[in-house]
């Protein structure tokens, strides 16, 4: 595949969107979520013993999934949760919810899907983290 540069984020042409590719890419994304991809304000909470390793990664994971499969297949959604923290997830072209970081909601906590609204990828440092994760995903896909 050849690279092209749409809107400042370098990516390969979108993968065909199907169940198998979604499962493969989702696993690669989750496996590559590391502390360096978090905003500094979320790193401590993410690394606390007994906490969720998914906390703080929802935007980066969801936006990367959208970059891999394209906006025609994946839409971003977000909503404030009960702690007034934005939670991000995806909805595909068939209206199926895809939340790669839903495990951060445990112990009776529920993701705020009911109040979700369509959203766009955030800029600045968030965009850099999406690019870094996207590069990791592409590198893993190249090895297959």
| pLDDT tens, position by position, 98-116 | 999 999 998 889 999 999 9
Name 92's bridge partners. 74
The pair of three-digit structure tokens given for residue 71, joined into one six-digit string:
């906006």
Q: Residue 10: name the closest of 63, 75, 67 by CA.
A: 67
In this structure, the strands spanning 74-80 and 117-119 are antiparallel
Is this prediction's pTM over 0.75? yes
Mean pLDDT of each 10-residue bin along the chain, 144 residues long: 39 81 97 93 76 90 97 97 96 98 91 97 92 96 92
Helix 19-31 / helix 58-69 crossing angle, nearest 10 deg: 140
What pLDDT is attached to residue 12?
57
What pLDDT is attached to residue 68?
97
């Amino acid at each position: 595949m050849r690279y092209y540069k749409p809107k400042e984020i370098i990516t390969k042409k979108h993968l065909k969107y199907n169940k198998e590719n979604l499962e493969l890419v989702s696993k690669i994304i989750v496996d590559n979520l590391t502390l360096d991809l978090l905003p500094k304000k979320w790193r401590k909470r993410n690394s606390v013993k007994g906490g969720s390793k998914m906390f703080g990664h929802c935007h980066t994971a969801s936006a990367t999934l959208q970059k891999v499969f394209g906006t025609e297949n994946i839409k971003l959604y977000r909503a404030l949760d009960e702690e007034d923290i934005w939670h991000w997830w995806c909805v595909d072209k068939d209206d199926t919810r895809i939340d790669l970081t839903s495990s951060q909601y445990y112990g009776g906590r529920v993701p705020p899907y009911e109040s979700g609204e369509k959203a766009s990828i955030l800029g600045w440092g968030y965009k850099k983290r999406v690019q870094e994760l996207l590069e990791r995903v592409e590198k893993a896909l190249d090895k297959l």
